[in-house]
Structure 1
Amino acid sequence: MSNYPLSYKLSWLPRFLGPSLGGDARGFAPQAATLIEPSPARKVRLAFIGDISAVANRIAPECDPAVAALLASADLVVGNCESPVVERPHAVVGTRLGTHHAMTERFLADALAAAGIAREKLVLSLANNHVLDQGVAGFEETVRALKRLGIRTIGTVAKRPVERFAAGPLSIGLFAFTQWRNADAALFASRVSMRSDPGPRDAVGSVDLVCAVPHWGWEFRHFPRPETRALARQLAGQGVGLIAGHHAHVVQPVERIGKTLVAYGLGDFLGTAFARQPWPGRIGSILAVDVSADLGMRGAIAAYRLHPFMRQRVGDRERLVPVEMLKGRLRGKVEGRLKAIFGDPAEA
């Protein structure tokens, strides 16, 4: 029922066990940059986080104060809800095996509180391959649960392609879609957005910046495929100014296409694979973007930084720790992997 090619399916386990650094590493941008100098007098901060799930843990994570402070500083936080939010699994066997995702409303609320994310500032995409893992009933329960929690959503066919959200004095347009599905085509496409086209800018209305939140590419590969980069160029040409991708479950590089900033993959925010996942898949990142609110530069990206962190295993839960707080051999391995993805910051 999924739409994955056979070669993708056959490569899933080997790439999960050893995420790949293969692919074209040319043409990418630094991990952080200041794009407008002097800095605008008025700015809005957007924070983008990766996939959220409880598959690898049933207890809310611990979060280093530095990670929580970064997220609390944002005017708007955007992420991907990788698991249906249900009180009890509908797909019982698959959920126990970890092939079908699920998390409870309580887990999500506790996880957000631990990470310093205010629900009224949060927007979650439902445009991902796992959103129907608990069936149509689980999808509908998820929509109700998120509404009950006061969390706004994007990426369903019930919404407009581009939804408008206030972030300080700015109006931000958010647009989400998935290339992949794990369910019947008709059931999925009638509920979840698979449209990789934001539509004409006139139809969006007056927004200062359009941001795309795509669920794209192939999993466990640190460098995006040529098809993914081509789609990023297409979106940039359609007026999308910022792209923050999901689905790879590993950190991927940043690219600048004209004035458009693309973060191809942020990795997981909370574990979406198995509890004992190999270390490269436990590196996540938070993309912090400062957007100008000054007259004449409204909506222009003033600066960005990709903040990497590690999801460390502590008993039966995860702890989110900035890379600079890691110690010993693990820190060396993680910094080496990030250097392979982003290059040496000293040379940027």
Structure 2
Amino acid sequence: MSNYPLSYKLSWLPRFLKPSLDGDGNGFAPMAGTLMQPPPGKTVRLAFIGDISAVANSRAPDCDPAIKALLGTADLVIGNCESPVVDRPSAVLGTKLGTHHAMSERFLAEALAAAGIAREKLVLSLANNHVLDQGVAGFDDTVAALRRLGISTIGLAANGPVQPVKVGPLNVGFAAFTLWRNADEDLFAGRVSMDPTGWQRDGFDLLCAVPHWDWEFRHFPRTGTRALARRLAGQGVGLIAGHHAHVVQPVERIGDAVIAYGLGDFLGTALARQPWPGRIGGIFVADVSADAGTRGAIASYRLHPFVRLRAGDYERLVPVEGLGGAMRAKVEGRLRAVFPSSLVGEGVAEGDG
């Protein structure tokens, strides 16, 4: 049994059809910011992407060269594997309807290649509500498939709450967890990380959280989500990049910590014919100091928005500035509403952190 409140379940379809701008927009930061001036001499670049799924894609996406170039500048790319990786789904009807997620190992490999993401530079979280959509066997198949592909994983309970990842000279700790599940708690327990407490920053230059949190199709995070972000920052987390909302959400700075509440989808996860506000995604790039004395400090960050356009049985990932007139105007208007203190319209800027 899932753990969604009834009010959440009843609001899913209305909010899917019309993503909400309701909520508190106060206290958020611009889409881009510089935290260290002058900048450090040496940096490591982390690029966070949103949810990855095959629900809206029968074939690998067509990725704009500017997006591929941006991802190519990263020393590490971090995303959320929203769909179990299985070649034969066990939940056949649910998979056809889109309620149960699944993607093949071949699709994932081809999608990553299309986006220019090197597998050895990729970390995927398995701490999400859909990871057991194909049962325990599907979960085990997913872990095995990612291992075969050479992709590192986070969010597995068996590996402990924080996973160390070497990124250049830095030792970065990643703590992924989900607050939501689509199956009984006993299926998730012991397999998927669900506890956002008890982490230790000791031994890490930077501690990053990758939470599956908040409510879907709402551009502004709930009060409880922001309170949890403050608690995580108080535990020593320096960078948070969230998933599950399926729409872009604001950025907030809490002390020296930077929080990107929601990055939307990287590849469509909620039905093929999704309304346009849910087609806006973001790539959150953070440059982290590797200088002695400031190792692990966030030097600068920037959220790079893009849009997933439907093209037959696959999606085209296009920077905002690559859109046509009416669509671009709508997207820029929505981004101004979510990021009122930002200069909107620059889209994906290659090499600009």
* Shorter-normalised TM range: over 0.9
Q: Is the 8 A contact 1:171 1:208 kept in 2?
A: yes
Once the two structures are TM-superposed, the CA of residue 168 in structure 1 deviates from its matched residue by 1.1
- Of residues 204, 207, 210, the one that matches 2:207 is 210
Aligned positions of 1:5-84 closer than 5 A: 5-84=5-84
2:316 is equivalent to residue 319 of structure 1: yes
- Deviation digits for residues 126-182 of structure 1 (CA, Å, limit 9, x no counterpart): 000000000000000000000000001010111121111111111110000000000
RMSD between aligned alpha carbons?
Answer: 0.9
Q: Is the 8 A contact 2:173 2:201 kept in 1?
A: no
CA 1:186–1:110 in structure 2 vs 1: closer, same or farther (change >3 Å)? same
Q: Is the 8 A contact 1:162 1:198 kept in 2?
A: no
Aligned positions of 1:105-124 closer than 5 A: 105-124=105-124
Once the two structures are TM-superposed, the CA of residue 324 in structure 1 deviates from its matched residue by 1.3
Structure 1 segments of 4 or more deviating over 6 A?
Answer: none
2:258 is equivalent to residue 257 of structure 1: no
Aligned positions of 1:143-292 closer than 5 A: 143-202=143-202, 206-292=203-289
Q: Is the 8 A contact 1:56 1:274 kept in 2?
A: yes
CA distance in 2, matches of 1:168, 1:185: 37
> For residue 29 of structure 2, what is the amino acid of its counterpart?
A
Q: Is the 8 A contact 2:239 2:258 kept in 1?
A: yes
Structure 1 equivalent of residue 347 of structure 2? none
Q: Is the 8 A contact 1:29 1:253 kept in 2?
A: yes
Structure 1 equivalent of residue 139 of structure 2? 139
CA distance in 2, matches of 1:233, 1:61: 36
CA distance in 1, matches of 2:37, 2:144: 44
Q: Is the 8 A contact 2:201 2:207 kept in 1?
A: no
> For residue 328 of structure 2, what is the amino acid of its counterpart?
R
Once the two structures are TM-superposed, the CA of residue 190 in structure 1 deviates from its matched residue by 2.2
CA distance in 2, matches of 1:237, 1:338: 29
CA distance in 1, matches of 2:248, 2:284: 11
Which secondary structure does the structure 1 equivalent of 2:58 belong to? coil
Structure 1 equivalent of residue 291 of structure 2? 294
Once the two structures are TM-superposed, the CA of residue 323 in structure 1 deviates from its matched residue by 0.6
Which secondary structure does the structure 2 equivalent of 1:200 belong to? coil
CA distance in 2, matches of 1:39, 1:262: 20
Once the two structures are TM-superposed, the CA of residue 184 in structure 1 deviates from its matched residue by 1.1
Aligned residues between the structures:
344
- Deviation digits for residues 59-99 of structure 1 (CA, Å, limit 9, x no counterpart): 00000000001111100110000000001111001000100
The runs of 5 or more residues in structure 2 that have no matched partner are 345-353
Which secondary structure does the structure 2 equivalent of 1:120 belong to? helix
Which secondary structure does the structure 1 equivalent of 2:308 belong to? strand
The runs of 5 or more residues in structure 1 that have no matched partner are none
CA distance in 1, matches of 2:316, 2:198: 36
Question: What percentage of aligned pairs have identical amino acids?
Answer: 74
> For residue 190 of structure 2, what is the amino acid of its counterpart?
S
Q: Is the 8 A contact 2:59 2:107 kept in 1?
A: yes
> For residue 38 of structure 2, what is the amino acid of its counterpart?
P
CA distance in 1, matches of 2:76, 2:270: 27
Once the two structures are TM-superposed, the CA of residue 255 in structure 1 deviates from its matched residue by 0.2
TM-score normalised per structure 2: 0.96
CA distance in 2, matches of 1:286, 1:230: 24
Structure 1 equivalent of residue 348 of structure 2? none
Q: Is the 8 A contact 1:175 1:198 kept in 2?
A: no
> For residue 281 of structure 1, what is the amino acid of its counterpart?
G
2:94 is equivalent to residue 94 of structure 1: yes
Once the two structures are TM-superposed, the CA of residue 257 in structure 1 deviates from its matched residue by 0.4
Once the two structures are TM-superposed, the CA of residue 57 in structure 1 deviates from its matched residue by 1.2
CA distance in 1, matches of 2:213, 2:312: 32
Which secondary structure does the structure 2 equivalent of 1:183 belong to? coil
TM-score normalised per structure 1: 0.98
